[in-house]
A and B are shown apart, each in its own frame.
Chain A
């Protein structure tokens, strides 16, 4: 009886193995990681949302590069500009309680409240001077995403390389690089940011982001170094060396994929942090300058009208949260995809099915 049961289990196991085999037949490391990432639902949804936000804001408000003297501008599909002021329009679209620039966006359908679903001329309303708020938010999202991506990628790249080299080689190289890191660390971010903003703020958002990125890698470098210090003692590093691998190959092919969890976690934190740093700088007047805007700047500019015109506060907030969440979920998906131990979660439904299968098998075996 028990032998029969065992047999059944064995075949079950075999089937499972075969499925697992089919899943990874003839694939390289990169392909396997890609497949696993694609299967991560939260990450894929976030990726789609993020791409949508990026496309939406860039096509909507157009592309704006360069400083105030020589602008490179491509017009977007949204008719209003961030420097168009229309005080009469604001007064015209007054809310019921007498606040000008009420949002025209209405998502509640006709049969509930009567006015019906509509976008209107100024879906997110207008600000206190009568600028279209939709244009401002799109432009803000565009600039914030730019800052986030540039600071994030620069910080991750520099931090990873510095940390990897310091951790792998150790000794004098480690000492020099870490003292350099210390030097960067002791400078307060906001003061550095203020100096950078004062000097580069008027050149537009890209140079500002690049400069911020050059001062954002230190924490990541420390984490990566620690990870490398412990990983380089593992036997597979020796095995690679015996196989004839160069230092570069060992660092990038063997150790780095093992440190990817740390890099992604601190990388996503870095990116969400970048948005906040930029907001803080803009708040202090050293970041993005008017008439240009960023999401952080919008929030800080309108936080005192929160009680009377809450939409001026809500919408940039919603965009910041959406972007930061997306980045974090994508990071989570990447980390899981890189970790071979991570198996696909099994849903409750599948569990129930498996349980039924098992119990019927057991019942049959007993009978």
Chain B
């Protein structure tokens, strides 16, 4: 706590100006917007995989499995539903790709410095 005497101690009173300044400064250095991947690809990918697995299960389901589910081929229907959801996310990603983030000044030269 005292090993950094070169930093002036803030007064105990903490005001909104301090928060505004601190958070704005951090926001200007933040890397999330520039580097985070697009979640739509993950949701789309997972649901396409799940959709295919469950749909195939539905197509090959035995009569016993269908009887258990009140005579509905629930695997088939759920699989198709999940597949459509996955395709929806991938299509959305395709039609509206991630906008390239505006590189905040000072970020480019530090690239790679974790």
A pairs with B: no
State the B residues within 8 Å of A (CB): none
State the A residues within 8 Å of B (CB): none
